[in-house]
Amino acid sequence: MDPKSAGSYLQARFVTKDLKFAVPESPFSVPENVGPQELSALINKLLNEEKAEEDVQQIDFDFLIDGELLRVSVSNHMEEKGISSETVVEIEYFEKHPAPTPEGSLLHDDWVSSVQGLKDRIITGSYDNTVRMWNTQGENLMTLSYHSDPVKCVSWIKKDGETSLLVSGSHDQTLVIWEVNEEKQTYQALHSCRGHARSVDTVAVDKSGTKICSGSFDSMIKIWSAVPGTTEDKSERIEDQHKKKIRSEKNQPLTRTPLLTLDGHREAVSSVLWYKNNEVCSASWDHTIQLWDVESGVQKSTLTGTKVFLSIANSESCGLLASGNADRHIRIWDPRSSEGTVVKSSLSHHNGWVTTVDWSRVNPNQLISGSYDQTFKLWDIRSPKAPLYNMSGLGDKVLTVNWNIPELLLFGGADNCLHVFRSAEIIPR
**Residue 244 pLDDT more than 50?**
no
* Whether 409 contacts 100, CB under 8 Å: yes
Strands (E), 99-238: 101-107, 112-118, 121-126, 130-135, 140-145, 151-160, 163-170, 174-181, 186-194, 200-205, 211-216, 220-225
pLDDT reported for residue 234: 52
How far apart are the C-alpha atoms of 167 and 384, rounded to whole Å? 35
**Same domain for 217 and 244?**
yes
What's 26's domain CATH number? 3.10.20.90
Closest CA to 151 of 86, 220, 214: 214
CA angle 176, 178, 183 (to 5 degrees): 165
Phi, psi for residue 177 in degrees, rounded to 5: -95, 125
pLDDT on residue 342: 83
Domain match, 39 and 15 both: yes
pLDDT, tens digit, 9 for 90 and up, residues 316-355: 888 899 999 999 999 999 988 765 568 889 999 899 999 9
Q: pLDDT band at residue 368, thresholds of 50, 70 and 90?
A: very high
- DSSP class of residue 7 equals T
Residue 313 near residue 403 (C-beta atoms within 8 A): no
Task: Name, in order, each residue with C-beta under 8 angstroms of 220's C-beta and a sequence gap of 6 or more.
Answer: 196, 197, 261, 262, 263, 265, 269
For residue 382, tell me if it sits in a domain.
yes
* pLDDT at site 277: 80
> pLDDT at position 3, please?
40
Which structural domain, as residue segments, surrounds residue 340?
101-422
Decide if pLDDT at 393 tops 90. no
Is 334 inside any structural domain? Answer: yes
- pLDDT number for residue 7: 66
427 part of a folded domain: no
SS3 of 282-343: the string is: EEECCCEEEEEECCCCEEEEEEECCCCEEEEEECCCCCCEEEEECCCEEEEECCCCCCCCCE
Pick from 322, 368, 371, 329: nearest CA to 349: 329
Evaluate if residue 241 carries a pLDDT over 50: no
Measure the CA–CA gap between 339 and 20, rounded to whole angstroms. 38
Amino acid letter at 87? T
Least confident span in 121-125, 165-169, 395-399: 395-399
pTM of this prediction? 0.90
Choose one of 45, 62, 95: the last residue of a domain: 95
Check residue 5 and give its pLDDT: 44
Task: Give yes or no: residues 222 and 337 share one domain.
Answer: yes
pLDDT surpasses 50 at 171 = yes
Is residue 21 helix, strand or coil?
helix
Q: Please state, in angstroms and rounded to a whole number, the distance separating the CA atoms of residues 282 and 274.
A: 9
81, 71 in Cβ contact below 8 A? no
Same domain, 132 and 267: yes
Average of per-residue pLDDT across 386-398: 87
Domain assignment present for 182: yes
> Given pLDDT bands bounded at 50, 70 and 90, which one contains residue 248?
very low
Whether 162 and 261 share a structural domain: yes
Neighbour order of strands in the sheet with 211-216? 200-205, 211-216, 220-225, 260-263
pLDDT on residue 233? 53
* Domain assignment of residue 428, yes or no: no
Q: Check whether residue 169 and residue 196 sit in a common domain.
A: yes
Q: State whether 116 and 64 are in the same domain.
A: no
Distance between CA atoms of residues 148 and 155, nearest Å: 19
User: Residue 401 falls within a domain, yes or no?
Assistant: yes
Average confidence (pLDDT) over 256-268: 97
Is there a domain that residue 163 lies in? Answer: yes
What SS3 state is found at 165?
strand
Parallel, antiparallel, or unpaired: how do β-strands 254-256 and 186-194 relate?
A: parallel
**Same domain, residue pair 337 and 385:** yes
pLDDT number for residue 338? 61
- On the question of pLDDT at 309 being above 50, the answer is yes
pLDDT tens sequence across 22-79: 999 899 999 999 999 999 999 999 999 877 766 778 999 999 999 999 999 999 999 9
How confident is the prediction for the chain on average, in pLDDT?
90
Residue 429 lies in a domain: no
Q: What are phi and psi of 184, to 5 degrees?
A: -90, -5
90 & 229 share domain = no
Last residue of a domain, which of 95, 123, 147?
A: 95
How many independent structural domains does the chain possess? 2
Residue 383 has pLDDT above 60, yes or no: yes
Provide the pLDDT for residue 230. 61
Pair (70, 109) in one structural domain: no
With 0-12 / 13-18 / 19 or more C-beta atoms within 10 angstroms meaning exposed / middle / buried, residue 427 is exposed
Residues 59 and 83 in one domain: yes
Task: Return d(Cα 262, Cα 25) in angstroms, integer.
Answer: 55
We report the CATH number of the domain holding residue 258 as 2.130.10.10
Of 76, 95, 114, which closes a domain? Answer: 95
Q: What is the pLDDT of residues 219-239, one digit of tens each?
A: 999 999 999 986 445 544 434
Q: Note whether 16 and 95 are within 8 A (CB).
A: no
Q: Are residues 76 and 201 in the same domain?
A: no
| Mean predicted confidence (pLDDT) in 105-110 | 97
The closest alpha carbon to 145, from 106, 178, 185, belongs to 178
State how far the Cα of 35 lies from the Cα of 350, in Å rounded to an integer.
Answer: 25
- Taking each continuous run of H as one helix and of E as one strand, the counts in the chain are 4, 34
